[in-house]
Amino acid sequence: MEVRSEGFQVMYDKLHAPVIPRSRFRFWFIRVCSSIVLWTCLVQLVTVSELWNSHFFTGLTSHIYHTTHTPIQDDVRLTESPPARNYTSNGFLRVSCNGGLNQMRAAICDMVTVARLLNLTLVVPELDKKSFWADHSGFEKIFDVKHFIDSLQDEVRIVKRVPKKFSRKGGFSTMAMPPVSWSNEKYYLEQILPLFAKHKVVHFNKTDARLANNGLPIDLQKLRCRVNYQALKFTPQIENLGQKLIQILHERGPFVALHLRYEMDMLAFSGCTLGCTNEEAEDLKRMRYAFPSWREKEIVSEEKRSQGLCPLTPEETALVMQALGFDRETQIYIAAGEIYGGERRLAPMRAAFPNIVRKEALLAVNELQQFQNHSSQMAALDFMVSVASDTFIPTYDGNMAKLVEGHRRYSGFKKSVLLDRKKLVQLIDMHQNRTLPWNEFTDAVRQAHEKRMGQPSYRRVIADKPKEEDYFYANPHECLCEETKCDDLLGPRNSRQVR
């Protein structure tokens, strides 16, 4: 069974995505590149003289830390590392990320930010190997660890492991704990920082959603973005294959990346069985009961669906895409693992959209082989293609959908169709029982999504209900505007047209 997906912890968050953008691959690519180049030039200018200095860091470690040149690895970063920040480290922060690739990605951004806030030395995060998505890839099998360390050294010191002398054998105790979810900087300064006086090493053994969406100082919010959009680069193997896929797709014309989250794990977890055979429904139920951490066991599929809590089925997705105006020629890349029910369930989609492609069909067998048993690496390829696509359509709002949405906003407000599933299932049912003719159905579907294309907007804030408000990584609006107050987010510079 091939299972992959994005963490369930945040899966039940409702995405009430608002919004707007514009897009075209080349355009944003140039934009992003030039801002990276500009930024580094600036840093370079200020610090040319310091480049080869080594910095001595006092406090805990009295360790010599070298600032080194990052070799030029690709044309995106014709740059050298920024000079290292000189600060007294208060201790080592170890973190074990949990969940799927994108949940871990958000957690890594949060943890760098916490380490910066508390003046800690961060140990390269450990990735989840035990959860449902079990993939034995460590950080360095997925991300470019050197780039991660070097490109952030002007903010925070990152080391590959805790030095031996601070280990248990050295007489130091490590404190393991999960930090409280959705906390702001006060929690970390008041509750966590004092722990480092006693324990030189603190180990956060669970890291999902550990920083609040809102109310953090702007410099911390911007650092979260910097980690996400600049410091976290996939390994050259993944980057190269991802770029190759993107190039093949672009050569064939514009394309939609469809995150068709109709995978077995998703259906078992959510209990959504519309269109499944009785046997399949039983299988899904058995799987749900087999996972103790999936607490909800008895589920009425119809109720879930009417609340908008089921991923759209392939049949529903085909209808909705047709209603949105996508025609038979549309090239659709399926950014997902195995579709439950296989070709049988995909048939209605193929009938409506013959031009459906999957990575298995675009790449040679041996090219994908190296990633075959690594769900996170496969997910990384889909992530890259989804970010680069002309239009992105997720059929469910898990972490991948949200992180890709945010990445596309950052890349110049590229079009992401944020489906209103609750509304859609009503319209679909009415169309299917013939109360809503096709024309009225398409009008209603289009109207419901006019403002759900990833346009510039502010995140929705709901005091005390962090899970219900807009997720920071889906719309990091602080990073998408010029002014610190973000008064210009909806202004003329950020065109309200979706690219």
Ligand X SMILES: *[C@@H]1O[C@H](CO)[C@@H](O)[C@H](O)[C@H]1NC(C)=O
Give the interface with ligand X as residue ranges (CB under 6 A).
55-56, 86-87, 90, 118-119, 176-178, 193, 205-206, 369, 372-373, 426, 429-430, 433, 435
Q: Which residues contact 356 (CB under 8 A, 6 or more apart)?
A: 332, 334, 346, 349, 350
Task: Give the residue with the Cβ less far from ligand X, 176 or 281.
Answer: 176
Closest approach of Cβ 310 to ligand X, in Å? 14
Specify the residue, 256 or 419, whose C-beta has the smaller distance to ligand X: 419
Shortest reach from residue 441's CB to ligand X, in Å: 12
Beta bridge partners of 275: none
Compute the least distance from the CB of residue 177 to ligand X, in Å: 5
Residue number, 277 or 373, with CB nearest to ligand X: 373
Q: Are 57 and 88 in contact (CB under 8 A)?
A: yes
Task: Give Cβ neighbours of residue 114 (< 8 Å, ≥ 6 apart).
Answer: 93, 120, 179, 188, 192, 210, 211
Nearest distance in Å: CB 63, ligand X: 12
Nearer to ligand X, 208 or 405 (CB): 208
Nearer to ligand X, 178 or 254 (CB): 178
Q: Minimum CB separation from ligand X for residue 188, in Å?
A: 9
Nearer to ligand X among residue 2 and residue 329 (C-beta): 2
3-state SS track over the chain: CCCCCCCCCCCCCCCCCCCCCCCCHHHHHHHHHHHHHHHHHHHHHHHHHHCCCEEEECECCCEEEECCCCCCCCCCCCCCCCCCCCCCECCEEEEECCCCHHHHHHHHHHHHHHHHHCCCEEECCECCCCCCCCCCCCHHHHECHHHHHHHCCCCCEEECCCCHHHCHHHCCCEEEECCCCCECHHHHHHHHCCHHHHCCEEEECCCCCCECCCCCCHHHHHHHHHHHHHHCCECHHHHHHHHHHHHHHHHHCCEEEEECCCCHHHHHHHCCCCCCCHHHHHHHHHHHHHCCCCCCCCCCHHHHHHCCCCCCCHHHHHHHHHHCCCCCCCEEEECCCCCCCHHHHHHHHHHHCCCEECHHHHCCHHHHHCCCCCHHHHHHHHHHHHHHCCEEEECCCCHHHHHHHHHHHHCCCCCECCCCHHHHHHHHHHHHCCCCCHHHHHHHHHHHHCCCCCCCCCCCCCCCCCCCCCCHHHCCHHHCCCCCCCCCCCCCCCCCCCC
Closest distance to ligand X from the beta carbon of 113 (Å) = 13
CB closer to ligand X out of 34 and 53 = 53
Q: 247 or 307: whose CB is closer to ligand X?
A: 307
CB of 232 to ligand X, least distance (A): 23
Q: How far is the CB of 413 from ligand X (least distance, A)?
A: 34
Nearer to ligand X, 373 or 484 (CB): 373
Between residues 303 and 468, which has the closer beta carbon with respect to ligand X? 303
Give the nearer residue to ligand X in terms of CB position, either 20 or 379: 379
CB of residue 156 vs ligand X: minimum separation in angstroms?
A: 11
Query: Nearer to ligand X by C-beta: 79 or 86?
Result: 86
Note the Cα 218 to chain centre separation in Å: 21
The pairing of beta strand 391-394 with beta strand 356-357: unpaired
Query: Least separation, in Å, of the C-beta of 19 and ligand X?
Result: 27
CB of 404 to ligand X, least distance (A): 27
Neighbours of 207 (CB within 10 A): 26
Between CA 71 and CA 181 the distance in angstroms is 38
Compute the least distance from the CB of residue 376 to ligand X, in Å. 14
**Residue whose CB is less far from ligand X, 241 or 332:** 241
Q: How far is CA 411 from CA 3, 69, 230, 415, 470, in A?
A: 29, 27, 12, 10, 19
